[in-house]
């Protein structure tokens, strides 16, 4: 995939992405490429977990020195009780 053809990358949500996105090398590389080209990198729901292992070309993690929001484990447990 050529990032030059797109303006942004959007990581979708859901519980599965916490496992599928965090170590998916092509996605991590693609996300870093978007970020380093000054393009929009966005995520929703549980997909910010897909950003935690993104390493930039300088060796730093994308999330270094950034504020990131997400669900706490207590909120996850509460959400499960509310949907049962």
40-67, pLDDT tens digit by residue?
999 988 888 899 999 999 999 999 999 8
Whole-number pLDDT of residue 58: 97
Q: What is the pTM of this model?
A: 0.82
Q: What are the residue boundaries of the structural domains of the chain, listed by start?
A: 3-83
Q: Is 43 helix (H, G, I), strand (E, B) or coil?
A: strand
Quick: pLDDT tens for 8-30.
Answer: 999 998 888 888 999 999 999 99
The pLDDT, as a whole number, for residue 82 is: 65
Which CATH number applies to 3-83: 2.60.40.3080, 3.60.40.10, 3.40.50.300, 3.40.50.880? 3.40.50.880
1's tokens: 């995939």
Question: Which of 36, 34, 44, 30 is CA-nearest to residue 7?
Answer: 34
């Amino acid at each position: 995939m050529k990032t030059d053809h797109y303006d942004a990358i959007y990581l979708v949500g859901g519980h599965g992405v916490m496992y599928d996105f965090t170590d998916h090398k092509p996605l991590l590389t693609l996300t870093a490429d978007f970020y380093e080209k000054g393009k929009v990198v966005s995520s929703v729901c549980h997909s910010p977990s897909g950003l935690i292992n993104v390493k930039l070309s300088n060796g730093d993690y994308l999330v270094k020195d950034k504020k990131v929001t997400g669900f706490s484990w207590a909120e996850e447990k509460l959400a499960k009780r509310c949907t049962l």
